[in-house]
Structure 1
Amino acid sequence: MNASRPQGRRDGRGGRGGRWIEHWEPEDETFWRETGEKTARRNLLYSVLSEHIGFSIWSLWSVLVLFMGPAYGIDPAGKFFLIATATTVGALVRIPYPFAVTRFGGRNWTVVSALLLLAPTVAALAVMEPGTPYGTFLAVAALTGVGGGNFASSMTNINAFFPLRKKGWALGLNAGGGNIGVPVVQLAALLVIGTAGAGHPRLLLAAYLPLIVAAAALALVRMDNLAPVRGDAGAVRRAVREPHTWIMALLYVGCFGSFIGYGFAFGLVLQTQFGRTPLQAASLTFIGPLLGSLVRPVGGALADRYGGARVTLGAFVAMAAATGVVVLASVRESLPVFLTGFTALFALSGLCNGSTYKMIPGIFRAQALARGLRGEAAEAHGRRLSGAAMGLIGAVGALGGLGINLAFREAFSASGTGTAAFASFLGFYAVCCAVTWAVYLRRPAAAPAGPDAARSGTDAQLTPV
């Protein structure tokens, strides 16, 4: 193979218009060093920007509820349901979004998905005032779910650009940069509340309109489509039938479901259980999501080095311990202890997010090696199934955020505190610990032999058992 072969035409010749790359072999070290890495990093940068704005729009209602004072006539249970609605739609649209990448191209879909963010932002700008019917708020909250889909398509796209040995870092950075959209919109809300007051949510919404347009424009002129990443209905059917898809989805519920669920609910919990004002709540809510976002690439990098299953298990054990601290603080009504435990939960969920997404391509490539595939055949199998599985795993994981917000809604309706909800989360983390150990660590298989194993970055414990 000529490793220095051109990446492909971008001028529309050969039957394709727009920026299309016809030849892409990131596992070839010469190709990666000479042409692949620079292109992959450029696409990663603008993917992060678009996904970042998507997360901010998806999490808008986590801060808009802080602007909704008594004049809106909505109780805490109603506000939790607004948040849960946005979470649910964001989870469901994650299912089709990855397949849009294979149908239209990663760059093309990034432009479209970014522009779609204008709809919920403009709609919220129009209705955000006292006297608006609750059903209208629900409909607009549902619209913000399109921002949740950006994550799934972005991860599928970036997964195809990078070699397996770099996927943990690249996917962690892509997701972490996107996740930072949650604390950024919370900081922006803090700025608005602190300067203009809680009666001016439209200032926050108006600020995001030019940012959405900028993200779409930059994706249009700076990103690329990968021609080898084509629609494959067979891969989707295979991923649905694959037990590891659903096992990893369960683990991702514990990781990302925790991050997005806590991120959406944190400010409202502080207001409802600890009596914080909107300004006081907004001044605290961004800290946890920020830490969780920043450590996500660290989780991916640690998984690259030590193995995704080991890092994931350690994160779940620590999350269970942090939840125990939160339960204790909730019972004793100690805000400092509560903030300590809750912030630790955010950081640990971010670590877990990075390590689980490293596991996904590793699992499917290990399957290929175990079945006797080698070289590009093994790489193609791993890319094919992991790309299809990521959409399903991401969708189910995001539904964990719905579960968290519904659990809070029921707990606060019944007792006025979130203690019962946190106790249920503790039990779920124990289940995740048991599943990770039993499936991926209890009986580690021998690592694949030969040069393919040496350059794969696939850990022994990721081989299906």
Structure 2
Amino acid sequence: MTSTQTGRWIDDWRPEDPEFWEGGGRRVARRNLVWSIFAEHLGFSVWLIWSVSSALLLQMGFSFSPQQLFLLVALPNLVGSLLRLPYTFAVPRFGGRNWTMISAALLLVPTLLFAVAVQDPGTPYWVFCLIAATAGFGGGNFASSMANINFFYPAARKGAALGLNAAGGNAGVAIIQLLLPVLVGGAGIFGLVQASAGGIHLETAGFVYAGLAICAAVAAYLWMDNLTVATGRPREQLAVVRKRHTWIMAFLYIGTFGSFIGYSAAMPLLIKLNFWVPEPAPLGTGIYFAYFAFLGAAVGSLTRPFGGWLADRYGGARVTLGAFTAMVVFTLGVLWTLTRLTPNPGADPAVATDNQAWFPWFLGFFLLIFAATGIGNGSTYKMIPAIWRREAETTTEAGSPERTAALATATKQSSAALGVIGAVGALGGFLIPLAFSSPWVDDPLSATRGAFVVFTCFYVVCALVTFGVYLRRPSRAAKLAMAGV
């Protein structure tokens, strides 16, 4: 293995060569994976910082409606999804190490602006919208991180590496939802830390994550590498948009990852609006979101690698179909619990007490949805590199120069496909909170019920597409999706 003396560029990278891999390639790949996970984890945390803080703004003196709060939650997801495509192309353009440094430094923008804005109750709502939009920088990190790690690992190990990288990032959602209320003094944790008697200080979270962003940029500078083989031209990468499988997998990924990130963003507000009221002060009545909101993201993050493992054993299409079937069943379960709730006006302790009895059912079904989204995320993302590699293998002869060139192109295109599919899939994270806000519906609970009806129908369509394209007959599409997954 050789490397240039400036910029930490590795010129000789052959992960498919067993001798090369065991002779040092594995160690280098693992080191880059570790720091990629750290940077991506931080990006996800910043991306979802508004999912928790929006539920605390009212307690700090801001007077925003439920619709306004859901929009604050949705905006980072919209921007993050749009940024995933350019972030994917940035890896071949600038190098994985270099872009990790840049993308980590960009997180200073949303964190520092957040810290300043929340200290002034007079900050206009439109300013909050702009700052929330900049949190989308963190959402773009996923695409560049996954595209970069895809180059480091051999085909036989891509599933595990991509699964760990994605799960580490997804876990950032759970961590921010668990720790932000503690950092700002809004809640205790396990009896070790008590809620602050001096009120909530959201700016603390902004400053803490700004410091972590600096740490991620420095870590990438010290311990990550660029790969010469990962370079390419955007025109070559954009060729994936003409591939049928790119759009089929993107559609399915809206159902899996879009649901994961959308529900993660909306869950704190759903609990707050339906199961808790602020009276009597200071603790209020009912279920306090800070103790439960992180559980969904945690479950979805933990099951994502499990989805990749199941895909190894049973085939990606079968596992994906099973995930969508489970999502249909469990979403109907959530919908059933919502029909038992009384609309919460936000000030009546009796309503919160009545609804509280249904919370275990609501939470249980919701966590099962999250588990299914995680499994589906793992199985769909496991399929992508395998589809491109299998297509290269079926069009060339083993051991030929054409096969070598085709496999190199397949790796570049599958990395680009990861970005395109991730970008489209993340749009679900914008649409789901927006559906819950439904400004055309006066009652927030009715809006929530209607949204879950729509989501159920969408999951049915996703299941039918998975079955019809990949499982209904032994077509070439099915063989591509099943091979190596």
For the criterion TM > 0.5, the same-fold answer is yes
What is the count of residue pairs matched by the alignment?
443
Partners of 1:394 and 1:400 in 2: how far apart? 10
My pick for the range that moved more, 197-206 or 82-91, is: 197-206
2: CA distance, partners of 1:255 / 1:110:
26
Conservation of the 8 A alpha-carbon contact between 1:364 and 1:381: no
The question of 1:390 aligning with 2:398 is answered: no
Contact 2:67–2:439 (CA<8 Å) still a contact in 1? no
CA contact (8 A) 1:89 1:142 kept: yes
Give 3-state SS (helix, strand or coil) of 1:193's partner. coil
Provide Cα deviations, 1:424-460, integer angstroms capped at 9, x if missing partner.
Answer: 111111111111111122223589xxxxxxxxxx966
Could you say which residue in structure 2 is the equivalent of 1:137? 128
Of 139, 150, 158, the residue aligned with 2:141 is 150
Matched, 1:439 2:469: yes
Residues 412/329 of structure 1: CA separation in 2 closer, same or farther (3 Å cut): farther
Deviates more, 1:45-54 or 1:65-74: 65-74
Question: Is 1:286–2:294 an aligned residue pair?
Answer: yes
Which residue identity is paired with 2:379? S
1:189-268 matches, within 5 Å, as 189-191=180-182, 192-194=185-187, 195-196=195-196, 199-268=200-269
One-letter code of the match for 2:392?
A: A
Q: Which residue of 2 aligns with 1:88?
A: 78
Unaligned runs of 5+ in 1: 1-6, 12-16, 448-457
Q: Are 1:80 and 1:409, in contact at CA under 8 Å, matched by a contact in 2? A: yes
1:405 aligns to what SS in structure 2?
A: helix
Q: Contact 2:392 / 2:410 at 8 angstroms: preserved in 1?
A: yes
Secondary structure of 1:387's counterpart equals helix
5+ unaligned residues in a row in structure 2: which ranges?
188-194, 342-357
Q: Which residue of 1 aligns with 2:346?
A: none
Q: Which residue is 1:462 aligned to?
A: 482
The 3 A distance-change label for structure 1 pair 306 and 24 is: farther
- 2 CA distance for matches of 1:151 and 1:104? 16
**In the alignment, which residue of structure 2 is the partner of 1:3?**
none
Do 2:4 and 2:10's aligned partners in 1 also have CA atoms closer than 8 Å? yes
Q: Give the structure 2 partner of residue 453 of structure 1.
A: none
- Corresponding position: 1:116 with 2:116: no
The answer to whether structure 1 residue 304 and structure 2 residue 304 are counterparts is no
1:43 — aligned with what? 32
The residue that corresponds to 1:54 in the other structure is: 43
How far apart are 1:33 and its partner, in Å? 2.0
Equivalent residue letter for 1:244: H
CA RMSD across the alignment: 2.0
Deviation at 1:26, TM superposition (A): 1.3
Q: Confirm whether residue 355 of structure 1 aligns to residue 379 of structure 2.
A: yes
Q: How does 1:386-425 map to 2 (within 5 A)?
A: 386-410=414-438, 413-417=441-445, 418-425=448-455
AA aligned to 1:406 is: L
CA contact 2:3–2:12 (8 Å) conserved in 1? no
2:2 alignment partner, one of 5, 8, 11: 8
Residues 372-403 of structure 1 deviation map (CA, whole Å, 9 limit, x = unaligned)? 35442342132021111111111111101111
In the alignment, residue 258 of structure 2 is paired with which amino acid? Answer: G
From 396, 400, 407, the counterpart of 1:379: 407
8 Å CA contact retained: 1:322, 1:345: yes
Contact 1:362 1:459 in 2 (8 A): no
Equivalent-residue separation in structure 2 for 1:130 and 1:373 (angstroms): 67
In the alignment, the residues of structure 1 paired with residue 202 and residue 101 of structure 2 have an alpha-carbon distance, to the nearest angstrom, of 27
State the SS of the aligned residue for 1:24. coil
Q: Does residue 329 in structure 1 map to residue 337 in structure 2?
A: yes
Residues 169 and 298 in structure 1, CA contact (< 8 A), matched pair in contact too: no
CA shift digits 1:47-105 (9 cap, x unpaired): 00000000000101001112211631100000001111111111111110011100010
Would the aligned equivalents of 2:36 and 2:165 in 1 still touch at CA under 8 Å? yes
Change (3 A) 1:31 1:304: farther
| Residue pair 1:108, 1:225 contacting (<8 A) in 2 also | yes
Aligned position for 1:4: none
Q: 1:138-158 CA deviation, whole Å, 9 max, x = no partner?
A: 010011110000000000000
Q: Distance in 2 between matches of 1:119 and 1:322?
A: 38
Is the Cα contact below 8 Å between 1:446 and 1:460 reproduced in 2? yes
Secondary structure at 2:54 match in 1: helix
- CA–CA separation in structure 1 for the residues paired with 2:277 and 2:136: 27
Render the CA deviation track for 1:197-234: whole Å, top value 9, x for unaligned.
66311122222122111111111110110101112233
Question: Deviation at 1:296?
Answer: 1.2
How far apart are the structure 2 equivalents of 1:65 and 1:413? 21
| Distance verdict in 2 for CA 1:421–1:412, change over 3 Å | farther
Residues in 2 aligned to 1:329 and 1:36: alpha-carbon distance in whole angstroms: 52
d(CA) in 2 for partners of 1:261 and 1:152?
A: 17
Counterpart amino acid of residue 450 in structure 2: A
In structure 2, how many angstroms separate the alpha carbons of the residues matched to 1:283 and 1:253?
28
Q: How does 1:173-184 map to 2 (within 5 A)?
A: 173-184=164-175
* 2:97–2:226 CA contact under 8 A, matched in 1: yes
When normalised by structure 2's length, the TM-score is: 0.87
Letter in 1 for 2:64: I
Query: Hey, what does 2:349 align to over in structure 1?
Result: none
Partner of 2:190: none
Amino acid paired to 1:166: R
> How far off its partner does 1:237 sit?
3.1
- Identical pairs, percent: 47
2:95 to 102, 105, 120: 105
